[in-house]
């Protein structure tokens, strides 16, 4: 599907994958620095968000029906 990334990036060159790796590392480092500056416990915030998403997007809410997760 358009806009989706295939697992393992099979159509990408190793050079492109390395470039993406460097860019993602930059983003992560910036995020860690920002969270420290804002005094946000990033690991705790991530765990909290995972729990919220698990509840919000629970498959059991819509399994076997044509409803969206939010209905």
Please write the tens of the pLDDT for every residue from 48-57: 999 988 888 7
Looking at 33-37, 46-50, 58-62, which range is the least confident one?
58-62
pTM of the model: 0.65
What's residue 54's pLDDT? 86
State the number of CA atoms in the 13 A half-sphere of 35 facing the CB.
Answer: 13
Mean pLDDT, residues 28-54: 96
- With contact defined as beta carbons under 8 Å apart, do 44 and 33 qualify? no
Instruction: State the pLDDT confidence band at 65, using cuts at 50, 70 and 90.
Output: low
Classify residue 62 by burial, with Cβ atoms within 10 Å: 0-12, 13-18, 19+: middle
What are the C-alpha distances in Å from 13 to residues 1, 6, 26, 27, 54?
Answer: 20, 13, 20, 21, 34
Residue 4 has pLDDT above 80, yes or no: yes
């Amino acid at each position: 599907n358009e806009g989706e990334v295939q697992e393992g990036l099979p159509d990408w060159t190793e050079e492109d994958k390395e470039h993406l790796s460097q860019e993602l590392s930059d983003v992560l480092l910036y995020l860690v620095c920002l969270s420290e500056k804002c005094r946000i416990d990033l690991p705790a915030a991530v765990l909290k968000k995972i729990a919220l998403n698990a509840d919000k997007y629970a498959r059991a809410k819509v399994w076997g029906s044509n409803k969206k997760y939010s209905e």
